[in-house]
């Protein structure tokens, strides 16, 4: 049996005569949460809220439709862009960690055995101070790990850290589309919404194809989706639209590769 309603809201102090506070919306009968209530809250937000989740996913499958719905002001019917992005990214990186393929590090051409120590396979000239410094860092960092162990460690850390890099690159992607469509009446915030929806679609596809371990199954659908979504949301003639897509896609791809390289190098040396 729940706690009786109190005369004032415990959250904002406003008079509260009903089940919910008329000012902030918090329940007036406060009690310790239960596991069933947490489950009910999750289902209410993502599934039972008049099918908001399924309505959002159906709109997301059509390139640009969810973004156009948001621009048209129909927002309460769908999962908000940031929440959708965060949920999709969690699913993707969880699947990536579970189905992450085994990697191998090739440090020396003299010894390609997977069980050889990474540190023992590094050879530097006596007068090469820079190489010697890197050797010391790798020896200190990896110790006597084999190449397979080191590869698994780097890949695991990369999967752990890359979501943060993606969150940083997200507004950069919005800047790229904003620059590509500088003559369109869309502000940066609207480009950011578009970026959230495009990334959410890519993450969901990535989570689905992760067990197959074929990056092409993610890259190709994501590229096609981006091209069609840019055309649907921002409009324009076919040839200029293709040029804009190619420029945005290539620039962002270079940024992704650079981010992976920087993170992997930092993991190995820092």
Q: Into how many domains does the chain fold?
A: 2
**Residue 220 and residue 169 share a domain:** yes
Tokens of 150: 């080191």
Residues 12-35: tens digit of each pLDDT? 777 766 777 877 777 777 666 677
- Report the pLDDT averaged over residues 34-54: 64
Q: Is residue 122 part of a domain?
A: yes
**Residue 128 and residue 6 share a domain:** no
Q: Is residue 44 part of a domain?
A: no
CA-nearest of 268, 269, 261 to 151 is 268
Residue 97 — very low, low, confident or very high, per pLDDT cuts 50/70/90? confident
- What per-residue string of b and e applies to 84-93 under the rule 16 or more CB within 10 Å gives b? bbbbbbebbb
CB atoms within 10 A of CB 64: 22
Residue 38 — very low, low, confident or very high, per pLDDT cuts 50/70/90? low
**Residue 71 and residue 203 share a domain:** yes
**Residue 1 and residue 105 share a domain:** no
**Residue 248 and residue 135 share a domain:** yes
Q: Is residue 114 part of a domain?
A: yes
Q: For residue 215, what is the DSSP state? A: T
CA 118, CA 148: separation in Å to the nearest integer? 9
**Residue 190 and residue 104 share a domain:** yes
**Residue 108 and residue 3 share a domain:** no
Residues 202-233: tens digit of each pLDDT? 999 999 988 887 878 888 999 999 999 999 99
- Report the pLDDT averaged over residues 94-120: 56
**Residue 109 and residue 6 share a domain:** no
Residue 64 has what pLDDT?
A: 95
Do residues 19 and 9 lie in contact, with contact meaning Cβ atoms separated by under 8 Å?
no
CA 187, CA 195: separation in Å to the nearest integer? 13
- Mean pLDDT lowest among 82-86, 103-107, 248-252: 103-107
Q: Estimate the share of the chain in helix, then strand, then coil, as percent rounded to the nearest 5.
A: 65, 0, 35
Select the highest-mean-pLDDT range: 22-26, 36-40, 70-74, 127-131. 70-74
Q: Is residue 38 part of a domain?
A: no
Q: Which residues pair with 117 in a beta bridge?
A: 146
N-terminal to C-terminal alpha carbon distance within the chain: 56
pLDDT surpassing 70 at residue 50:
no
Tokens of 159: 């999967």
Residue 46 — very low, low, confident or very high, per pLDDT cuts 50/70/90? low
Residue 122 has what pLDDT?
A: 55
Q: Is residue 209 part of a domain?
A: yes
**Residue 24 and residue 75 share a domain:** no
Residue 85 has what pLDDT?
A: 93
Q: Is residue 70 part of a domain?
A: yes
Residue 204 has what pLDDT?
A: 94
What contacts 205, CB < 8 A, 6 or more positions away? 217, 218, 221, 222
**Residue 81 and residue 2 share a domain:** no
Which regions of the chain does DSSP assign to beta strands (E)?
Answer: none
Residues 149-197: tens digit of each pLDDT? 666 666 666 767 778 888 899 999 999 999 999 999 999 999 999 999 9
Q: Is residue 263 part of a domain?
A: yes
CA 79, CA 60: separation in Å to the nearest integer? 11
pLDDT surpassing 50 at residue 60:
yes
CA 134, CA 143: separation in Å to the nearest integer? 13
Structural domain boundaries enclosing 17: 1-32
CA-nearest of 95, 226, 78, 248 to 173 is 248
**Residue 138 and residue 22 share a domain:** no
**Residue 24 and residue 86 share a domain:** no
- Report the pLDDT averaged over residues 101-113: 46
CA 118, CA 128: separation in Å to the nearest integer? 19
Q: What phi and psi, each to the nearest 5 degrees, are found at residue 20?
A: -125, 150
Q: Is residue 40 part of a domain?
A: no
What is the dihedral angle through the alpha carbons of 214, 217, 220, 226, rounded to the nearest 10 degrees?
-120
């Amino acid at each position: 049996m729940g706690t009786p309603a109190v005369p004032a809201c415990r959250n904002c102090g406003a008079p509260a005569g009903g089940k919910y506070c008329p000012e902030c919306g918090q329940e007036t009968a406060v009690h310790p949460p239960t596991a069933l209530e947490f489950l009910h809250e999750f289902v209410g937000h993502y599934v039972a809220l008049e099918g908001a989740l399924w309505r959002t996913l159906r709109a997301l499958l059509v390139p640009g439709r969810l973004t156009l719905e948001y621009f048209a002001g129909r927002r309460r019917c769908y999962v908000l862009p940031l929440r959708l992005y965060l949920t999709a990214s969690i699913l993707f990186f969880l699947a990536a960690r579970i189905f992450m393929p085994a990697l191998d590090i090739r440090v020396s051409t003299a010894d390609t055995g997977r069980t050889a120590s990474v540190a023992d396979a590094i050879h530097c000239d006596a007068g090469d101070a820079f190489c010697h410094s890197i050797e010391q860092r790798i020896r200190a960092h990896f110790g006597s790990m084999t190449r397979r162990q080191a590869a698994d460690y780097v890949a695991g850390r990369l999967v752990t850290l890359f979501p943060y890099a993606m969150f940083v690159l997200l507004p950069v992607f919005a800047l790229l589309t904003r620059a590509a469509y500088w003559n369109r009446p869309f502000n940066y915030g609207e480009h950011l919404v578009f970026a959230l929806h495009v990334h959410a679609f890519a993450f969901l596809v990535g989570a689905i194809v992760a067990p197959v371990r074929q990056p092409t199954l993610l890259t190709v659908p994501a590229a096609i989706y981006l091209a069609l979504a840019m055309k649907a949301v921002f409009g324009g003639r076919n040839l200029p639209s293709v040029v804009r897509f190619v420029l945005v896609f290539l620039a962002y791809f270079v940024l992704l590769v650079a981010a992976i390289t920087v993170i992997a190098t930092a993991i190995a040396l820092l």
